[in-house]
C-alpha cells in the first residue's frame, strides 16, 4: 500500500484534495490501486461534493481547525505508522502515541524539570539578596525621606531587576518551563481531530478502522458503549493529578482551588470520551498512560544524574511516593502492618 507522501511525489501537479479523493484524470491507475486516507475536501458535516463542484469552505472555527495543515500532517503520520508496521489499527494508534510522546514530549518534560530545579536552586540566593536589598532601601529611605509606599515600590522594582538578572545568568526563566504545555496541547488536539477525521463515514479508511479494534471496542469508528475506555481514562488522569499533588507541600487556597478544578475536568472527560469515536478515546487513554510512565521515569535518580540537576533529590523517590500516598489515604493509621511491609514492592 502506497503512502500519501509517495503519491504526492509521484504526481506533484495534483491538488491534495484531488489526490486523496482519487478523482484525478492524469494518474487514474495509480490512484485506484492505492487507497489513501483523509478526505481532506469534505466540510464539517462530511457531505461529498460532485466532481465539478468547487470546494466549499469549512463552516466555523471547528471546521477550519479540523481541516488545518497540522491535523492533516497527523493524519498522514497515523496512516504511515499503520502501513509501515502492518499492525492492527488499535495497536497502531497506541504505537504512534508512544512514539510521538517519547520523541517530543519526554525531552520537553525533562527540560521543564531542569528549569524548575534551577529556579528552586536560586531561591536561597534570592532570599539572601532580598534581605540585603531591604536594608539598603531602608537606609536610602531615611536619607531621602521616602514614604512607606515609595520604599515598597523601590524594593519591588529592584528585586524584580535582580531576579531577572539571576534568571538570565542561569538561563532558567520560569516561562521556559511552560514550553511543554505549548507543544503538548496543540499536538494532542491535532492528533485527536486527525483520528476523528479518519473515523468519519466518508473517510477512505473508515472500513479498516471499523474492523481495526479489539476486545470490547472492535469498531474504532463508534463510541465505546461499555464506557470502559472512558472510565479508565478518567481514573488514569485522576491518578496523575493525585501523584502530582503528593509532591506539593503547604498548598495555598488558590492552588487547592486549581487542583480541584483539574480534578473536575478529569471527571468531565469521562462522558466526553463516551461520545467520541473509540479511536479518540483509545488515544486519550494511551496518552495518559504514557504521560504517567514518563512522570515516574523522570523521578528516577539515574535520570537526575544524567540531567545534572542542581538541587539534591531523594534517592528513593518511589518509596517516598508510596509513603506519601499511604499517609494521605490514612492507611498506616488503620493498619497493623509494619512499615517495612508497606515498602516491599
Asked if the structure places residue 209 within a domain, the reply is yes
pLDDT (tens digit, 9 = 90+) per residue, 322-345?
Answer: 777 777 666 544 444 444 443 333
Asked if the structure places residue 148 within a domain, the reply is yes
Asked if the structure places residue 208 within a domain, the reply is yes
Torsion of CA 175, 177, 178, 184, to 10 degrees: 150
Q: Report, in angstroms and rounded to the nearest whole number, the Rg of the chain calculated over CA atoms.
A: 27
Q: How many whole angstroms separate alpha carbon 159 and alpha carbon 156? A: 5
Asked if the structure places residue 9 within a domain, the reply is no
* pLDDT on residue 162: 93
* pLDDT on residue 317: 75
Distance, C-alpha 310 to centroid of its chain: 26
Number of domains in the chain: 1
Comparing C-alpha atoms, which of 166, 156, 173 is closest to residue 125?
166
Asked if the structure places residue 44 within a domain, the reply is no
* pLDDT on residue 303: 85
Length of the chain: 345
Q: How many whole angstroms separate alpha carbon 205 and alpha carbon 208? A: 5
Asked if the structure places residue 15 within a domain, the reply is no
* pLDDT on residue 202: 63
Sign of CA dihedral 79, 85, 90, 95: negative
Asked if the structure places residue 178 within a domain, the reply is yes
Burial class (CB in 10 A: 0-12, 13-18, 19+), 339: exposed
Asked if the structure places residue 242 within a domain, the reply is no
* pLDDT tens, residue order, the chain (345 aa): 334 344 333 444 343 334 344 333 333 333 333 444 444 434 333 444 444 343 444 467 777 888 888 898 998 899 999 889 888 989 999 999 999 999 999 999 999 989 988 998 899 899 999 999 999 999 998 888 888 899 999 999 999 999 999 999 988 888 888 888 899 999 999 999 999 888 876 666 777 888 887 888 888 888 988 999 999 999 999 888 888 777 665 566 777 788 888 889 989 999 999 999 999 999 999 999 999 999 888 888 888 888 888 777 777 777 877 777 777 666 544 444 444 443 333
Provide the whole-model pTM: 0.72
Distance, C-alpha 87 to centroid of its chain: 24
Residue ranges making up the domain that contains 179: 67-223+276-327
Amino acid at each position: 500500500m502506497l503512502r500519501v507522501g509517495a503519491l504526492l511525489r509521484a504526481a506533484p501537479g495534483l491538488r491534495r484534495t484531488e489526490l486523496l479523493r482519487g478523482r484525478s484524470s492524469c494518474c487514474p491507475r495509480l490512484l485506484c490501486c492505492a487507497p489513501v486516507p483523509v478526505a481532506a475536501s469534505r466540510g464539517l458535516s462530511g457531505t461529498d461534493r460532485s466532481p465539478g463542484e468547487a470546494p466549499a469552505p469549512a463552516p466555523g472555527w471547528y471546521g477550519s481547525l479540523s481541516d488545518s495543515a497540522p491535523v492533516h500532517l497527523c493524519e498522514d503520520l497515523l496512516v504511515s505508522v499503520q502501513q509501515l508496521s502492518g499492525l492492527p489499527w488499535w495497536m497502531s494508534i497506541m504505537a504512534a502515541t508512544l512514539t510521538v510522546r517519547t520523541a517530543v514530549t519526554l525531552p520537553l518534560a525533562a527540560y521543564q524539570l531542569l528549569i524548575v530545579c534551577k529556579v528552586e536552586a536560586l531561591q536561597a540566593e534570592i532570599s539572601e539578596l532580598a534581605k540585603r536589598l531591604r536594608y539598603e532601601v531602608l537606609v536610602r529611605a531615611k536619607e531621602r525621606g521616602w514614604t512607606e509606599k515609595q520604599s515598597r515600590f523601590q524594593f519591588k522594582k529592584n528585586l524584580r531587576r535582580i531576579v531577572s538578572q539571576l534568571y538570565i545568568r542561569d538561563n532558567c526563566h520560569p516561562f521556559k518551563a511552560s514550553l511543554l504545555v505549548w507543544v503538548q496541547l496543540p499536538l494532542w488536539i491535532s492528533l485527536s481531530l486527525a483520528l476523528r477525521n479518519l473515523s468519519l463515514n466518508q473517510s477512505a479508511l473508515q472500513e479498516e478502522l471499523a474492523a481495526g479494534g479489539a476486545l470490547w471496542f472492535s469498531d474504532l469508528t463508534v463510541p465505546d458503549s461499555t464506557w470502559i475506555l472512558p472510565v479508565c481514562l478518567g481514573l488514569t488522569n485522576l491518578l496523575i493529578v493525585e501523584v502530582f499533588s503528593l509532591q506539593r507541600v503547604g498548598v495555598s487556597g488558590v492552588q487547592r482551588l486549581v487542583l480541584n478544578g483539574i480534578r473536575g475536568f478529569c471527571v468531565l472527560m469521562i462522558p466526553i470520551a463516551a461520545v467520541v469515536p473509540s479511536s479518540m478515546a483509545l488515544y486519550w487513554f494511551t496518552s495518559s498512560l504514557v504521560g504517567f510512565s514518563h512522570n515516574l521515569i523522570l523521578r528516577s535518580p539515574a535520570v537526575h544524574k544524567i540531567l545534572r540537576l542542581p538541587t539534591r533529590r531523594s534517592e528513593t523517590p518511589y518509596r517516598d511516593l508510596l509513603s506519601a500516598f499511604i499517609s494521605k489515604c490514612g492507611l498506616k493509621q488503620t493498619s497493623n502492618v509494619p512499615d517495612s511491609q508497606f515498602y516491599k514492592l
